[in-house]
Structure 1
């Protein structure tokens, strides 16, 4: 174990929350169980709030010294996010990543957690409630697919290919309006560009060797800390648009993930000209 938190224990906390608070509500949400936050597509459900509350209680019991940061906790108290940079130990949780999909009855959502120590992400976990398995990583120890029966499989990104053969995901919705049309036009240069509207599954797909790149402009720690570490441990090259490393304190600057440095530079030059 390389982090200050037992990652297997935390992984099972996420699984129990999913089984108790998330899955029983899938395709069973009432009209009062779904609310919009910043816009019509930015949703929170009863499952998000109940799952985060359960995970927070377990984290407080198991690691009382850790700062807990959850997406819904920050929605209620934005100042909480300011404490992350100076925390000796923090656990960051996205109780339902892909809430839009979850609320629409689309089975593409996940539960994510990352562990941050002194400003560095040291562990990341993405649990898929529908598949009942995790992808996880601790810094320096590789990225792994793990199933509840103990079976494990080491993950590795795919081999690089030519620009016109690249397949990946690009979250264009949060790009500046003046750049969005240009970037979407540039995406015609690659073979395929899509979005699952769920970073959890997009990171899992890249780390598993099935796509070549991911692009995001909006950076919130619960959306990207776990996945970016898992991607790096699977062999990916992960940088903000200016080429600098992505750190827990960063809330802007965009993020480009590619199977290697050359592919990253090619995409940055030819497609994501932000």
Structure 2
């Protein structure tokens, strides 16, 4: 695998500074559009940042398959190249676009490296805090800051009883009867929320601040980086049927917990209906 992960992390930062942050709270008329529904948005920042990243990666990694959220929106068949690609770079130029468009400072830039069907590196950059959480497979998860040689190793929280768990659950894509049952069951934990931004939810989880995260809709740009970072921080990560989460998966839901016992308890008592 011949990808300079540090250079990729720097590219995310440069794209954010050049194309995303200058547009934050400055989007003009026509700069925000709905895709599949009113809450599924794309902005000029998403598209411009992805164009910049795609163009630069084409120079440095010309043989890599580039899978970007907005590129797939324009060409859905592109997504199906991921499972068979020898090397792919998967990018979410603005994760949390709804927040970004609303002027809420909770959004991120994510990228992952997929090598022969396996996620081998993940990066989540926070443009507001100007830092990354990142991981390479087998090397731990780390918080890194620009021009700071002292990275901080990330570790998930210690396990707690179900009634004391705090976590994130994305329920918006569940069918109504299932959503109703899951939301009722979430009363069994101490607190459950949604940031509407997987980037920050994964950062909070891998950093040891919450005990679980759950997603139903699986698109690779939303979850590959965060799942690897969480695993490297010590989490138990699996689809809701208990199987391993791989880059080829776009359904089946995803549950991450501090350990396997917590995962099984959450699955059986909170998310059994999914």
The one of 77, 80, 96 equivalent to 2:78 is 80
Q: Deviations over 1:167-203 (max 9, x none)?
A: 0000010112220000000000000000000000000
What does residue 115 of structure 2 align with? 117
User: SS where residue 239 of structure 1 aligns?
Assistant: strand
What does residue 50 of structure 1 align with? 48
TM-score, with length taken from structure 1: 0.99
What does residue 154 of structure 2 align with? 155
Q: Give the alignment of 1:176-195 within 5 angstroms.
A: 176-195=175-194
Structure 1 runs (4+) deviating above 6 angstroms are: none
Q: Deviations over 1:5-35 (max 9, x none)?
A: 1100000000000000000000000121000
Q: Deviations over 1:85-114 (max 9, x none)?
A: 110000000000000000000000000000
Q: Quick one: distance in 1 between partners of 2:231 and 2:173?
A: 24
Q: Give the alignment of 1:15-26 within 5 angstroms.
A: 15-26=13-24
The runs of 5 or more residues in structure 1 that have no matched partner are none
Q: Deviations over 1:220-258 (max 9, x none)?
A: 000000000000000000000100000000000000000
Q: Quick one: distance in 2 between partners of 1:31 and 1:160?
A: 47
Q: Mean Cα displacement is larger for which, 143-152 or 221-230? A: 143-152
User: SS where residue 24 of structure 1 aligns?
Assistant: helix
Does residue 140 (structure 1) correspond to residue 153 (structure 2)? The answer is: no
User: SS where residue 245 of structure 1 aligns?
Assistant: coil
User: SS where residue 93 of structure 1 aligns?
Assistant: strand
In the TM superposition, what is the alpha-carbon distance from 1:4 to its structure 2 partner? 2.5
User: SS where residue 172 of structure 2 aligns?
Assistant: helix
TM-score, with length taken from structure 2: 0.99
Q: Quick one: distance in 1 between partners of 2:176 and 2:249?
A: 22
Q: Quick one: distance in 1 between partners of 2:75 and 2:176?
A: 29
The runs of 5 or more residues in structure 2 that have no matched partner are none
How many residue pairs match? The answer is 272
User: SS where residue 32 of structure 1 aligns?
Assistant: coil
What does residue 35 of structure 1 align with? 33
Q: Quick one: distance in 2 between partners of 1:200 and 1:214?
A: 12
Q: Quick one: distance in 1 between partners of 2:20 and 2:28?
A: 14
